[in-house]
Structure formats: C-alpha cells, structure tokens
Amino acid sequence: MVRVRFAPSPTGNLHIGGGRTALFNWLFSQSQKGKFILRIEDTDRERSRKEFVEEILYSLKWLGFNWDELYYQSERFERYRLHADKLLKAGLAYIERSEAGKEAIIYKVPGRKIRVNDLIRGQIEFDSSLIKDQVLIKSDGTPTYNFACVVDDAEMNITHIIRGDDHISNTPKQILLYEALGFGLPQFAHLPLIMGVDGGRLSKRTGATAISDYHKMGYLPEALLNYLLLLSWAPGDNRELVSVEEAVKLFDIKNVNKTSATFDLKKLDWINNQYLKGADPEKLADELIPLLEAKQYINRDNFDRGYLLVLVKLFQARLPRLNDFLDWADFFFLDEPVIEPAAKEKYLTGDLSKEFRLFVQRLDNLDSFEIVNIEGSFRELVAELGIEAKKLIHPIRVALTGKTIGPGLFEVIYYLGKERSQKRLLKWVKSTVA
C-alpha cells in the first residue's frame, strides 16, 4: 500500500510551492490507490501558529485534497525522545552540554558514500564525510526537523517521499538516520522548484505566494491546479487543459520534469479564463455574492438571484479572474456608472444630444423591449441619420457603462433595462431642448 505525506510547517500560509508539493503527492497517492497523509510539522513552538494550521487546512480543502490521516508533531515529542535515547544507548549519538547546563543529543555522522535512486532524477551520490554531526534533540527538548521527519515517516509507514528539490541535501542525512534507527528506506522523489519571475525563489516580492491569496483574487481551484500541474508535468499530447481527475489516470512520477519552472501569471490567467467559461454560473454567483455584498452592490437578503445569474453568464467567458466581475460589471449595480476619464475623452467629447434623444425615443416606441428589437431600431436610426453604427455605439456604451469594453451593447441595454438606459443617455443630452 502506497502511503505518501504532505508535511507543511505552520509558520506561514500554504504557499504556491507547498500547494504544488501537495498536488503531486495527491496525484501519486490517487494514481496508486494509496493513502494521503497530512502531517503538521509544528515542532518550532516559537514560530508555529494555530491560525496558520487553520489556513493550511482550509487551503488544502479548497484545492480539493482530503487527507486520510492527520498528525501533529507537537503531540509526538515522546516518540522522538525515545528514538534519540535508542541511538544514545547504541553509541551512535552523544550528549552535548551547553554552558547553561542544557543537554542536546547529537548524531555522530559516519563518513561514507550514500546513494539515492531518486524517482525523478535517478542516481544521486553524496559523501557523508562532508556532513557534520547532526543535532537530534535540541537543548530545549524539541526534535530537529531531519530527525522528527525520519522518525515520523518511518512510524507512519510512508512509502514514498515526494517533496521539493530543496530537500535533496537533507536526503543523505535522513538516510543515515533511517539506517541508524534500523528502519527500511522509503523511495524518494524530488520535485523541481518553482521560481519567481526574477529567477530566484518565489517570494512575496515576485507575486502572491499564498494559495488563499489566489482564491481571494478570483482564481478557481481547478484552474490553479491545472496550471501547477503543467509547471512540471505534461500529459504528452499537447493538451493544456487537464483536470486533476484526468491527471490521476495519466500520471507517472517518472514523467515529472527535472527543470525548475517560472511561475507566470499570464498563463494562469488564460487557464483560469478557460475554466471560467465552462463554470457553473450558480457556483460563480455563490462565490460572488459575499464580494458584491462587501461592495454594497447587493443586499444578501434582498436581491434578484436570477438577475445576478444572467449577469454572470454575460461576463464569465471574458473574465481572466472571477473578481474582475466586480469592476467590469459595476455599472449594473451602481445608480450611476463610473465614467472612465479616458473613455469619456475618446467617445463623449462631441455633442450627441440629438442622436441620444432620438434613440431614447425609439426605445419608448419599441413593440417589446427585447435584444433583437433594440438592435433593429438602433440600426434603423443610424441608417436614417446616415452615420456609421460604431459612431454611436461607442458613445452609448461609455454613457451606459463608463467603459470602452464590455459585453455586446444591445445585451447591455436589455439587461440594464429601458428606464436606466434612457436615464443614463439623457444625462448627456443638453437640456436646452424641452
């Protein structure tokens, strides 16, 4: 039975790199019909925080990863102590006393060649004579990372350790400990690192790093996962859109890339848009409701859900991020559209009083207020006036929405409603004519 684990430290949020590690562990466990274990590495009492634990669990759930077992290292200190004592008795470790009289347990690192057959990278060889003796239990009684990690992975019967590249140099230290403790070795697979656009490590400077930030920005979990997947793995048939479910079927850890990849928002936006296009409007509306409420665009207890759904459908195919809906569709919720200065400058500088007034009248004379009729009467009007349709379409759009871009104009008019559309147009009509 394959058992993998994801072992974040609650000293910060679940970040992109962690999410990616969780993803590949998840993929591997599902493709092998194995177990996915979550272990919170909270041995550092100073830096570990409960709110980070909650944030990490929340993000993992948002991504859709369910764990079969959950452990906290802070609850297992006696296990580490026990194994450290074992090494002490066997003469493989020694005690070091600090000036303050505190005792630490140190592992005596033997010098030899260590070979690892990494599932992704193949053979890697180390010389442990270059590694200095390792602290097992710190003088405050807490275990070090490498020690707790080995004890736990062994006791939790982890069969495959899939983690970031940055752990390659921990591997020989851990292998030595497995052997000293008399444990069998798991298999190792080191994932390439994800880099920021600056070529260095992904950091806050180079963009948002927390998974939850991507949720807040309006990325769909399936889109983020798809993007992360493509960062170091490909289905092999030139496909860009692959769901986690499909990936589980196609996944083979040997096909994971060795090269580190740069995190590029542009492609993420594109993928997100692809998923947004096909997303269920009901679900998108549910995501949007609290955000619209925060902007005071709607009132949770008193709003027209059917209308919101219509607007979501109108915009979803063109949004890179769901949250862009808030800005792009604001004119449907505001009493007055916010006119962008550049848009006004471009299309509303001339006097279109006559044209606007005639169009407002036509809207009143419609047999029925429907998209085809609105467009039909508009086409008639420009034909009669002998002007190009676009000479009037753009100014009307700006008057109604405040923007130069958006859904088709006649749909906008239809969903805005006759009265609101007329009112907004009349604002631009010089009041000299009664």
Site track 28-67 with RNA (rule: CB under 7 A), x = hit: -------------x-xx--x--------------------
The span from the CA of 268 to the CA of 19, in Å, is: 15
Structure tokens at 29: 């466990």
What Cα–Cα distance (Å) separates residue 419 from each residue in 42, 82, 216, 360, 369?
A: 60, 78, 35, 9, 11
Q: Least CB distance from residue 242 to RNA, whole Å?
A: 11
Do 268 and 223 contact (CB within 8 A), yes or no? yes
Q: Least CB distance from residue 434 to RNA, whole Å?
A: 31
- Name the one range near RNA by CB under 7 A: 50-58, 80-88, 166-174, 285-293: 166-174
Q: Which of 129, 243, 262, 361 binds RNA (CB under 7 A)?
A: 262
Q: Least CB distance from residue 237 to RNA, whole Å?
A: 8
The span from the CA of 392 to the CA of 361, in Å, is: 15
- Is 96 or 304 the residue whose CB approaches RNA more closely? 96
CB-based burial label for 398 (10 Å; 0-12, 13-18, 19+):
buried
Site track 343-372 with RNA (rule: CB under 7 A), x = hit: ------------------------------
Q: Is 156 in the site for RNA (CB under 7 A)?
A: no
Which positions ≥6 away from 262 have C-beta within 8 Å? 194, 195, 196, 197, 199
Q: Is 259 in the site for RNA (CB under 7 A)?
A: yes
Q: Is 403 in the site for RNA (CB under 7 A)?
A: yes
- Name the one range near RNA by CB under 7 A: 187-195, 245-253, 293-301, 421-429: 187-195
Q: Is 334 in the site for RNA (CB under 7 A)?
A: no
- Name the one range near RNA by CB under 7 A: 59-67, 79-87, 181-189, 224-232: 224-232
- Is 111 or 432 the residue whose CB approaches RNA more closely? 111
- Name the one range near RNA by CB under 7 A: 82-90, 128-136, 286-294, 351-359: 128-136
Our answer to whether residue 249 is catalytic in this structure is no
Mutual angle of helices 371-385 and 353-365, in 10-degree steps: 140
Question: Among candidates 190, 189, 264, which has minimal Cα distance to 228?
Answer: 264
Q: Is 328 in the site for RNA (CB under 7 A)?
A: yes
Size of site (CB under 7 A) for RNA: 80
- Is 86 or 121 the residue whose CB approaches RNA more closely? 121
Binding to RNA in span 81-110, by CB under 7 A:
96, 98, 102, 104
Using DSSP, how many helices (H) and how many strands (E) does the chain show?
19, 12
Q: Least CB distance from residue 300 to RNA, whole Å?
A: 27
**How many C-beta atoms lie closer than 10 Å to residue 5's C-beta?**
28
The span from the CA of 193 to the CA of 200, in Å, is: 10
Query: H or E stretch including 191?
Result: strand 187-191
- Name the one range near RNA by CB under 7 A: 29-37, 75-83, 140-148, 358-366: 140-148
Q: Least CB distance from residue 177 to RNA, whole Å?
A: 13
Which positions ≥6 away from 20 have C-beta within 8 Å? 191, 194, 228, 231, 232
Q: Which of 68, 69, 75, 127 binds RNA (CB under 7 A)?
A: 127
Q: Is 142 in the site for RNA (CB under 7 A)?
A: yes
Q: What is the DSSP annotation of 80-116?
A: HHHHHHHHHHTTSEEEEE-TTS-EEEEE-PPP-EEEE
What Cα–Cα distance (Å) separates residue 330 from each residue in 281, 417, 432?
A: 18, 15, 31
Catalytic residue among 204, 283, 295, 346: 204
Mutual angle of helices 77-89 and 171-181, in 10-degree steps: 70
Q: Is 284 in the site for RNA (CB under 7 A)?
A: no
Binding to RNA in span 371-390, by CB under 7 A:
375, 388-390
The span from the CA of 94 to the CA of 114, in Å, is: 22
Binding to RNA in span 286-315, by CB under 7 A:
none
Q: Which of 14, 410, 424, 425 binds RNA (CB under 7 A)?
A: 410
- Is 21 or 30 the residue whose CB approaches RNA more closely? 21
The span from the CA of 418 to the CA of 370, in Å, is: 10
Give the residue numbers annotated as catalytic, written as ranges: 204
